[in-house]
Every structure is written in C-alpha cells, then in structure tokens.
C-alpha cells in the first residue's frame, strides 16, 4: 500500500515515486463516490425511512461518505459534493481549474444514482413510484415541502451554517499534522451524520448541491422550483469555510504548537 500525503495546494503526493492521479481518474472517483452517497441517502429515504426514521437516513449518508472516502479519497480527495470542492479550492487545497470538472462529475454521479432509484421504485407495488414522486422523491424543500414546515429563512440558515461546519471538519481532519490521520474518513462520516440529524427535519438536509439536483430530477416541479436554495446555500457555506479556515484554525494550530 502506498502512503499518501497532501500538499497545501491540494495535489496528492505519493511516496515510492508513483505518479499522481490524472484528471480522468479523479473524475471517475468523484462520480463513484457521489453515486454511493446519493444512492445511500436517497435510497434509504425512499425505501426504508418508514422503518428507520431520520436516524437511519442520517446513518446511511454518513456510512456512505465514510466508505467512499476510504475507497477513493486518495484518488480525488473524496469530495462528492460541490460545496466541499469549492471550499477546498478556496482553502488552497485544490487547484481552481478542477472545480468545474469536479462539479460536473458529482452531478453526473448523483443523477445516475437517482435514475437507478427511480427504476427500482418503478418496479414496486402499485402506486409506489407515483407516491414517491408526489412526496418529492426525497428532495429538499422549504415551507410546505420542508419535513417540519420550516420557512425559507430557516432553511437557508441551516444549510449555510451546517455546510460551513462540515467543511471546517473536513479541512481540519485532512490538514497536515492532523491527529486523526488515516481515520479522517471516519470523522467526516460522523460529522455528516450529525449534520443530517439536525437538518433533515428542517430542509430534508442537502448540504450538497449534487444530492439535491439528483433527487429534484424526479421530484417534480415543486422540488425543481426550490432547487436554487439547495445549490446556492451549501456553496455559500462551503466558500465561507474555505476562505476562513486558514486564518481561524491554521493560525490556532501554529500558536498551540509554538507554546
């Protein structure tokens, strides 16, 4: 097994003189990881939430992202989320030239997952697919389309704040010298589980534009009409975290090491 480290620019550096991964491999990794994430969260919401409740959905997405980061994070950085990508770029961990290709790969991976879920639901009991689409197909929403009836302002706050918090965790546990080291995917998965436990009743928990786009494809006009919130709010949260992580946390780490 090759030991990997990451430069401040976000470019993987591999030992044993092995080459870094090219853009094609990175994009395939992002497609795969986003597919697993969306399949896990939306699949659990569509097929098992009546038995597992919010906790089951939150655990599903946390486990999905943890497993995917362990599997292919060494290839692409394990973003699987445009908000993570823009935050990583803003923090200097990813070259900006990769941002748009990563976005496209993540949207493609999510769309493949929701399409397969649509096909599975189509083979369910009579009326199953129609009911799933009528309920939004696990899409995000506010007002009448929020699980708890929360308004637009509440949804924007929760999506921006939790997206930023999630990015702070990711940037911290993957920073050089982090105490968690190889267990960073575990911390990231647990953080995403917490985020979903808080946000599911408010917005059905996005914090990921690719996830929201994937389910809105089959969620109908209401989900598609509210989709803008779940694209913009997580991106804003990710950008805030990316721009502020270094002055907030990197400086604190330096002060702590110097004392």
pLDDT in tens, 138-152: 999 999 999 999 999
Task: Give, to the nearest 10 degrees, the angle between helix 82-90 and helix 99-122.
Answer: 170
Structure tokens at 212: 């929201």
Architecture of domain 20-254: Up-down Bundle (1.20)
At 119-142, the pLDDT tens digits run: 999 999 999 999 999 999 999 999
CA triple 141-144-148, angle to 5 deg = 75
Contact 65, 192 (CB under 8 A): yes
| Per-residue confidence (pLDDT) for residue 176, from 0 to 100 | 86
CA distance 155 to 205: 9
Q: How far apart, in whole angstroms, are the C-alpha atoms of residue 222 and residue 135?
A: 10
Question: Position of tokens 């973003």?
Answer: 79
Q: How far is CA 187 from CA 43, 86, 97, 234, in A?
A: 23, 20, 28, 20
Choice among 15-24, 54-63, 97-106, 123-132 with the minimum mean pLDDT:
15-24
């Amino acid at each position: 097994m090759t030991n990997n480290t990451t430069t401040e620019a976000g470019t993987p550096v591999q030992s044993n003189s092995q080459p870094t991964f090219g853009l094609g491999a990175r994009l395939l990794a992002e497609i795969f990881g986003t597919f697993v994430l969306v399949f896990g969260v939306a699949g659990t919401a569509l097929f098992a939430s009546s038995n597992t409740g919010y906790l089951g959905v939150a655990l599903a997405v946390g486990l999905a992202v943890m497993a995917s980061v362990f599997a292919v994070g060494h290839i692409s950085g394990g973003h699987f989320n445009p908000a993570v990508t823009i935050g990583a770029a803003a923090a200097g961990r990813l070259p900006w030239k990769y941002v748009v290709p990563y976005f496209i790969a993540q949207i493609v991976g999510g769309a493949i997952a929701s399409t397969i879920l649509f096909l599975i639901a189509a083979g369910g009991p009579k009326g199953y697919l129609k009911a799933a689409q009528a309920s939004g197909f696990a899409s995000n929403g506010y007002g009448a389309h929020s699980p708890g009836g929360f308004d637009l302002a509440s949804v924007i706050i929760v999506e921006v704040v939790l997206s930023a918090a999630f990015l702070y965790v990711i940037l911290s546990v993957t920073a050089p010298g982090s105490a968690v080291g190889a267990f960073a995917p575990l911390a990231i998965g647990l953080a995403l589980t917490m985020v979903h436990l808080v946000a599911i009743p408010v917005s059905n928990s996005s914090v990921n534009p690719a996830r929201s786009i994937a389910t809105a494809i089959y969620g109908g006009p209401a989900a598609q009409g509210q989709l803008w919130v779940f694209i913009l709010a997580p991106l804003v949260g990710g950008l805030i975290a990316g721009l502020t992580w270094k002055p907030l946390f990197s400086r604190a780490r330096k002060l702590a090491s110097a004392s």
